[in-house]
Amino acid sequence: MYKFLIFYFVAYGGAHLYFYFKLKNAFHLSIRATLTISIFLLILFLAPVISRNLESSGLDILPELLSSAGYLWMGLLFLFVTAAAFSDTINRIVSIARKTKRVLVSPRALFLASALYTSIIGIYGYFEAKNIRTEHIVIKSSKIPPGANRIRIVQISDVHIGQIVREARIKEILKNVEAAGPDIIISTGDLVDGHQRHFNGIEKLFLEVRPRFGKYAIMGNHEYYVGIEKSIAFTKESGFKVLRD
């Protein structure tokens, strides 16, 4: 866990510093604006860590707000940093090629362009994530027994049951699963992602889905963040046979 925390503070902290300096160079912020933005960025930076630590406190609204804001910002920041770094690199390469020290595009224009790109992709990604679709893949295999005709396997992955993904989302997912008419259901990791109290009772929803050849699951990295024994217990209580090693 300490390796993850080191990576989090170095990489994610570095992304915040990059955003801060891009913003400061673009708009020449006053001392008051600099202080306000610094505090705001610090809160967003710490939000995922604070919300994770508050999960077991019995509070609901504050951890959920921090989690939603923190992870939404994390995605947007990733989009911004990649777009800004790419445009900065191109801008610098062209400037060097033209043998001039002056950059061709102003810091403000580059910042606004990156922010616009981030907004468009972020909005698209938000609605895309809410839209659950079933992807159909046909696999032909000689290992299917003669007379079996067709075996339909439904795979779910990265459901992340926790502070944000609750009962309503699971019902929507399982509605799509049942509509596919599965013979087998497999969960390929990260079924849970939060304190145990957030997914207590949700196992009953999974128990209602009973494919004829059973349900199977493997563990992902987030099951270890939650606590591997608790994650395995929940997965088994949801009717899955857990495959290990």
Cα 102 from Cα 96, distance rounded (Å)? 9
Among candidate residues 212, 202, 208, the one with its CA nearest the CA of residue 234: 202
Burial of 51 (0-12, 13-18, 19+ CB in 10 A): buried
Find where tokens 């580059």 sit. Answer: 110
List of residues 6+ apart from 70 with CB closer than 8 A: 44, 46, 47, 48, 50, 51
Phi and psi at residue 161, to the nearest 5°: -65, 125
Kindly report the pTM of this predicted structure. Answer: 0.78
Find where tokens 């995922």 sit. Answer: 48
- For helices 31-54 and 13-27, angle between their N-to-C axes, nearest 10 degrees: 160
Cα 20 from Cα 157, distance rounded (Å)? 35
Burial of 219 (0-12, 13-18, 19+ CB in 10 A): buried
- For helices 13-27 and 107-130, angle between their N-to-C axes, nearest 10 degrees: 130
Q: What is the pLDDT along the chain (245 residues), one digit of tens a residue?
A: 677 778 888 999 999 999 999 999 999 889 999 999 999 999 999 998 888 877 767 677 888 888 889 999 999 999 999 999 999 898 888 888 777 666 678 889 999 999 999 999 999 998 998 888 899 999 888 888 777 778 899 999 999 998 788 888 999 999 999 999 999 999 999 999 877 776 778 999 999 999 999 999 999 998 988 889 999 999 999 999 999 98
Extents of the domains making up the chain: 2-130, 153-242
